[in-house]
Amino acid sequence: MRALIAALVLGCTMLITPMALAESPPEPDTADSEAQDAQEDAATERATQFVGVEGPEAESVPGGALMLAAYAIVWVLLFLFLLRIRGLQRQTAEELERLSAQIRASEDR
C-alpha cells in the first residue's frame, strides 16, 4: 500500500513540475548583452556567406511533448515494476506461511 501511495505522490509531482519551470528568465547583465551583440554580429557576418536551406520552419514534433511522453513511460514502467515486486513479495509471504504451517504440523506428530 505504501508503494501505491508513493507512486501517486511522485505522479502528482509531475503535475507540479511544469509550473515550476514556467518562471521567467532573469534579465541579462550589460556584460552579457555586449557578448550577445558580438555573437549576433558574428552570426550576421556568417549569414552573408551561407545559403539558406528550404524546409520546415518549425519542428514537426515539439520537444516538450516528447519529454512528457518519456516521463510518462518511465512512470508507468516504474509503477508496473512496483506492482510486480508487491506480487512477488505476497507470494513469498504465502509460501513462508505454508512452510511454517507444515513445520508446526510435523512437530505436533
- Residues 36-75 pLDDT 10s: 777 777 777 766 676 667 776 766 667 888 899 999 999 9
Q: What is the mean pLDDT of residues 66-92?
A: 96
Least confident segment among 28-37, 39-48, 98-107: 28-37
pTM above 0.85, yes or no: no
Nearest-angstrom CA–CA distance, 72 and 67: 9
Q: How confident is the model at residue 88 (pLDDT cuts 50, 70, 90)?
A: very high
- For residue 73, give the C-alpha cell: 513511460
pLDDT top residue among 99 and 1: 99
Secondary structure (DSSP) of the chain: -HHHHHHHHHHHHHHHHHHHHTPPPPPPPHHHHHHHHHHHHHHHHHHTTSPPPPS-SS-SS-HHHHHHHHHHHHHHHHHHHHHHHHHHHHHHHHHHHHHHHHHHHHHH-
